[in-house]
Structure formats: structure tokens, C-alpha cells
Structure 1
Amino acid sequence: MEHNANRGYKDSVFNMYMTSNPAYLIESYNAIQDENYDLNTPIEINTLNDVLYKGKVNDLSFSLDNRYIVLYEHQATINKNMPVRVLLYLGRLLEKLLDRKSLYREKQIPLMTPEFIVLYNGQKPYPDISYMRLSDAFISQPHKNEEEPVPSVELVVKVINIGYGHNKPILEKSKPLQDYSIFTYKVQEYKDSGLQLQEAIQRAVIYCRENNIMQPFLTEHASEVENMLLTEWKLEDAIQIAQEEAREEETFNIAKKLLAKKFPLNDIVDVTGLTVEQIQRL
């Protein structure tokens, strides 16, 4: 197995954990895609280390058995622009993997089959399995002719909810995914009980080490994991607050427009969810 990992960039705990043992990637892939690859199947991690999302590397790409290029992205907040981001990422990855000169030869270049997976474990409810399509963002749909192929492009991203209590059949087939799901659940559980985030993370690490959950990894990297996860969760909290403030600002703007058009206060309350007092202060 080839394992090319470079810690010179801002990694995520998920990526660091999953690449700590390449067999974790094969086991998770088998569970997600209902395959049965041997854990010694050739694998090469080819993540583009300079691609940052929210200040850290969130994506993880690897080739499996020289047949597939698999892109994982772990998200705590769903990003609807994943298909176009994946398209750009794939282009850069192929540019890295392919010989430029071969592009101009007559013979067709064989390509490994790309597959795109988002692994979601955020707090907001989300389906166990769903799909994002690049074409969902198209302003106009491609012209279709039943007798001809559509001269356009499509890209599909599979979204799998790995939050605690979701997709049990998948998680039960992959201990690495199941362990990570439990670990993040315990952090949230301790945080919800009133502990500060740092203490919640520390308690979750202790719990998991005592219960053989991510045990070797957490034993070796406990302090690093605590620092990384503290940064990750604070960043996610900041993003969520910013999104909520943006929605609140938009709500007030809607209320102002309705007031300007002389809508009754009660109607504005119903539409925006604001109180009469909040609307009167506008």
C-alpha cells in the first residue's frame, strides 16, 4: 500500500484518522459501496494538499486498485456547491495524475472511474442517503434529443449521513466510520451536558480510549486531536452563527419591504416570525 500523507497543511481529524491506516479507507469504501475489496488491495492517497475549505483540508482522495479515484469529503455543514467544487477538484487531480503529452495522442487515455462521497455528521437533520447533481445548478437544462446523447456534463455526489443513529447497516460494516461517528457524538453529548468544548473533547477522548473506540489512534494522537477538533468545532460554530445572522438580517430586510408596502403588522409577523415590537422598531 502506498500512503502519501503530508502533515504540512491544516488537516482535519477525520482525514488524519482515516489516513492513519489505509485499510480504514478500503473498509469504509466496502461499506459505503457494498463492495468486498481485500484490505491489502493497492491504494494510493492522492489528496491535493493545497485545497482548503474553511481553513482546513476537508477532502480526501485516493485511488483504489488502480481502477477507481475516490473523493471523500467530511462535512458538518452541507454545502450545496459540492458538485461544482468536485468538478474543479477532479480537473486538478487529473492534471496532476496524467501525462500532459498523452492528451494530444490519438489513442484514448484510460481513466480510473471517479466516485464522489460526502460524509455528513452535522447537528441539523439530514436524510440517511441523498444525492447532489451538478445539473441542479444549471440555469437552463441541456437540450435533449431522444436519438442523440446530450452534449453536456453531469456529476453526481452521494451524501451519506454518518451521524450517530444513522445508516446503521453501513456503519456496522465499517468500524472506522462507526468509531468516528461515536466519537463525535460523545463530544456533542458532553457539550450538551454543560461542559465547555475543550473539556467535552477531553472527556470524549477518555471515553473512547476506555471503550476501544479509535483507541490506537487516540492513544497516539490524543493532544493533537484535542487541539485540532477544538479549532474545527469553533470554526463550525462561527460559521453557523454567521449564517444565522445573515438569515436574521434577510428577515429584517423582508419586514422593512413589507412595511414600506403598507402590509398589516399581523401579516408581517406571520411571514417573518418577528414580534410586533421588533417590526415597530424598524
Structure 2
Amino acid sequence: MENEVAPTINREYKDRLFKFIFGKDTEQSKRWRLQLYNALNGTNITDADALVINTIENVLFISMHNDISFIFDTEMNLYEEQSSWNPNMPLRGFIYFSILYQKYLVKNKMTILSTQKVMIPRPRFFVFYHGKETEPETIKLKLSDSFLGEPRDEEQFEWTATVLNLRPDENVPLNKNCTPLYHYTKFISMITANIAAGMDNQKAVETAVDEAIKQELLGDFFKVNKAEVIGMCMTEFDEELAINTWRQDGRTEKAIETAVNMLKKNYPTSDISEITGLPLEKVLELQKESTVQA
């Protein structure tokens, strides 16, 4: 067709895939998340269930959701994927953590109005960066660099983001210690290389998935989730438009309509549930209905 628009790659596909691999509540994802934690911290933890997920996924925070966050022992961990260089990661992390701590206080029935000191998990914030800035391997970004004015001597407040450059090189120490992260990074590099070689977006993604299956990256992950991975890489969703539409015309009805349209584009059911606010059971029901009608 003359006016047919070529499919575009989702701007957030790296972010979504990162969360799909490391941030789900499946046994496979738990193991990979544990491997990543151990690789980052030089530890040898064996209990994957000890990492308790608390990722912000409420529809109320549709424009403010983090990739992966979890509590382990006395730590509040936040992992973010970043495709372009962003000097504001410490500020973003600061905002994310404020929400995570609010949830923590409510869950543990704590109040900051107490006469006793409230103890909270220590924050640890890592950013996994894909981009042109490849040196150095690790960068520390400080929130204080964004403060206006000159600091006073007694002011000691600080908030940092540890930025880790991701590269498709098996000799990078982090990749050596975390095979799932290496395979994820290698797959992303395949898509980038295919596009640079002149493939259109759809072909670049499909070819990368087929190659990932052939190389058995992440075991059978890409084979089992082929359609879902391709859908997640190729579909776009206008969150701002969705929010405005739901506010004006009724959230539930429009959420269902949006979910149906996203299902037609092979959008991951878990992401549909997260974005629309519909229960996963309802999304699966809609998926079943659309399959029958087809």
C-alpha cells in the first residue's frame, strides 16, 4: 500500500526487555535477578526469594514507573536501564525512592510522626546504560551537582547513581559474572548492528531474535517468548494520550478498548495490565476472546 507507514521500534524496548528478563515474578527471572545482584556486589547469595520485588507498577504512577526495585536484607535496590545519556538519574532515583519508601512505611505500619527513630533499608541505585558514551566502565553521578547556589560547609546531603556501561563483550568483568546480562546486552547489540547494516526495523528485530534463538541466548527464552519479544520491540504506546482519554471518557471502558488494541499488536499481557490498570486476569480473558473471534 502506498501510504502504509513502516513499523517503528519502540523507543523503550531495551527498558521493557530488561524488565521482562530481570524483573518478573517467575522462577527463571528470579534466578537471573539473583545472578545480577551477586555480580554487582561480589556476593554468593543462593536464595532467590530473598530478593523481594517492590517495583512501582501502579496505574497512578503510569508516567513514573521504575524498571526493577527490590528489598534484600537491609537494602532497597533500584535498577534502571537507560538508552541515552541522562545526567538527571540521581534526581530521578531520588523521586523513585521517595515513593518506594512511602510504600515501605505503609506496608510495615510505620509512621514518621513517631517519637522513635524510623529505620529504613539503605538505598542502592544502579543504572545500566546503553549508548555512545562508553568510557569509563563505571560512573558516579551525584545529586549535589544539580543543586543551585554554593553549598554551605555544614551541608552534607548526597544522593548518587552508579552508572554501568553495558557492552557486548564477554570479557567485561560484569558480563563474565552475569551471563544473563551479557546475553541481554548481546541481543540489543544485534538489533543495533542489523539496523546499521541497512535492515528495516521489523527485519532487524526478527533477525536478531532468530539469531538469539540459534545461539541459545538466555537458554530457550527467545524461543519461548519470540512473539512477545518482537511485539515489545516494535509497538509504541502513547501513555499521555491514554491518561487524558480515560479521564474524559471513563477509565474502565477505555482501558478495555486500549487493551484490545494492544493485544492485536502482540503487546505483552503483563505490560498491558500495568499500563491500563486492568487485572491480568481480565487481560487474559480479553486475549482469549480475541483469539476465539479470530
Q: Which residue of 1 aligns with 2:17?
A: 13
Say whether residues 1:176 and 2:185 are aligned partners. Answer: no
CA-atom RMSD in angstroms = 2.3
Say whether residues 1:86 and 2:93 are aligned partners. Answer: yes
TM-score normalised by structure 1 residue count? 0.70
Q: Which residue of 1 aligns with 2:151?
A: 142
Say whether residues 1:97 and 2:104 are aligned partners. Answer: yes
SS at match of 2:123: strand
Shift of 1:142: 2.5
SS at match of 2:48: coil
Q: d(CA) in 2 for partners of 1:133 and 1:173? A: 27
Shift of 1:153: 2.0
Paired residue type of 1:117 = F
Q: Is the 8 A contact 2:78 2:125 kept in 1?
A: yes
Q: Is the 8 A contact 2:57 2:65 kept in 1?
A: yes
Paired residue type of 1:32 = L
Identify the match of residue 187 of structure 1 among 186, 191, 195.
191
Larger Rg: 1
Aligned length: 215
TM-score normalised by structure 2 residue count? 0.67
Paired residue type of 1:114 = P
Say whether residues 1:162 and 2:171 are aligned partners. Answer: no
Specify which structure has the bigger relative contact order, considering alpha-carbon pairs within 8 angstroms and separated by 6 or more residues: 2
Per mean C-alpha deviation after superposition, the further-off stretch among 178-187 and 133-142 is: 133-142
Q: Which runs of 5+ in 2 are unaligned?
A: 1-12, 237-294
Q: Which residue of 1 aligns with 2:290?
A: none
Q: Is the 8 A contact 1:131 1:156 kept in 2?
A: yes
Q: Which runs of 5+ in 1 are unaligned?
A: 1-9, 145-149, 233-282
Q: Is the 8 A contact 1:128 1:167 kept in 2?
A: no
Identity %: 27
Say whether residues 1:27 and 2:35 are aligned partners. Answer: yes
Q: d(CA) in 2 for partners of 1:231 and 1:126? A: 31
Q: Which residue of 2 aligns with 1:49?
A: 57
Shift of 1:208: 1.0
Paired residue type of 2:70 = F
Shift of 1:167: 7.0
- Per-residue CA deviation, residues 203-262 of structure 1 (Å, 9 max, x unaligned), is 111111111202332222211111211247xxxxxxxxxxxxxxxxxxxxxxxxxxxxxx
Q: Measured at CA, do residues 106 and 95 of structure 1 come closer, stay the same or move farther in structure 2, by a change above 3 Å? A: same
